[in-house]
Structure 1
Amino acid sequence: MDRRSYIKSGAGVIAGGLIAGCAGSDSGSDSTATTTEASSETDASMETDTATATAESVVPSNVVIGSDIPYRPFEYETTSGELTGFDVDIAQAVFEEQLGVSYEFKPTSFDSIIPSLNNGNFRIIMSAMTINETRDEKVDFSDPYFTAYQTIITRADSSISSRADLEGSVVGVQKGTTGANAAEELQSEFDGNIELNQYDQITGAFSALKNGQVNAVINDNTVNAEFANQEDNIEFVEGEGVAAESDQDAPPYLTLTIENYGIAFRQDDTEFLEEVNEALTTIKDNGTYDEIYSEYFSG
Structure 2
Amino acid sequence: MKKALSLLMAASLVFGLAACGNSNDTQKDADAGAQQDNSAAADTGSDKTWVIASDTVFKPFEYTDASGKFVGIDVDIVAAVAEDQGFKYEMKSLGWDAALAACQAGQADGLIAGASITDERKESGWLFSDGYYQATQTMTVGADSDITGFADLKDKDVAVKTGTQGAAYAESLKDEYGFNIVYFEDSPTMYQAVLGGQAVACFEDTPIMASSIKDGDLALKILEDTANEGAPYGFAIFNEANQELLDMFNAGLANIKENGKYDEIIAKYLG
TM-score, reference length from structure 1: 0.71
Q: Deviations over 1:140-166 (max 9, x none)?
A: 100000000001111121111123222
| Alignment correspondent of 2:116 | 130
Match of 1:93 among 63, 68, 80: 80
Q: Deviations over 1:151-187 (max 9, x none)?
A: 1111121111123222332111101111111111111
Residue 142 of structure 1: SS of its match in structure 2? strand
CA contact (8 A) 1:111 1:177 kept: no
CA contact (8 A) 2:139 2:222 kept: yes
Q: Distance in 2 between matches of 1:227 and 1:160?
A: 20
| Alignment correspondent of 1:110 | 96
Please show how residues 71-90 of structure 1 align to structure 2 within 5 Å: 71-90=58-77
Please show how residues 230-241 of structure 1 align to structure 2 within 5 Å: 230-231=216-217, 233-239=219-225
Residue 261 of structure 1: SS of its match in structure 2? strand
- Give 1:115 shift: 3.6
* Greater Cα radius of gyration, structure 1 or 2: 1
| Alignment correspondent of 1:156 | 143
Q: Could you tell which deviates more after superposition, 80-89 or 156-165?
A: 156-165
How many residue pairs align between the two structures? 225
Q: Cα–Cα, structure 1 residues 286 and 146, in superposed 2: closer, same or farther, change >3 Å?
A: same
Match of 2:187 among 197, 202, 209: 202
Q: Unaligned stretches of 5+ in structure 1? A: 1-54, 240-253
Counterpart residue identity of residue 294, structure 1: A
Q: Distance in 1 between matches of 2:218 and 2:189?
A: 18
Q: Deviations over 1:203-241 (max 9, x none)?
A: 1101111111111110100111012213252111112xx
CA RMSD of aligned residues (A): 1.9
| Alignment correspondent of 2:168 | 181
Q: Distance in 2 between matches of 1:116 and 1:91?
A: 18
Q: Cα–Cα, structure 1 residues 270 and 223, in superposed 2: closer, same or farther, change >3 Å?
A: same
- Give 1:66 shift: 0.8
1:277 maps to 2:253: no
Q: Distance in 1 between matches of 2:99 and 2:188?
A: 18
CA contact (8 A) 2:139 2:202 kept: yes
Counterpart residue identity of residue 69, structure 2: E
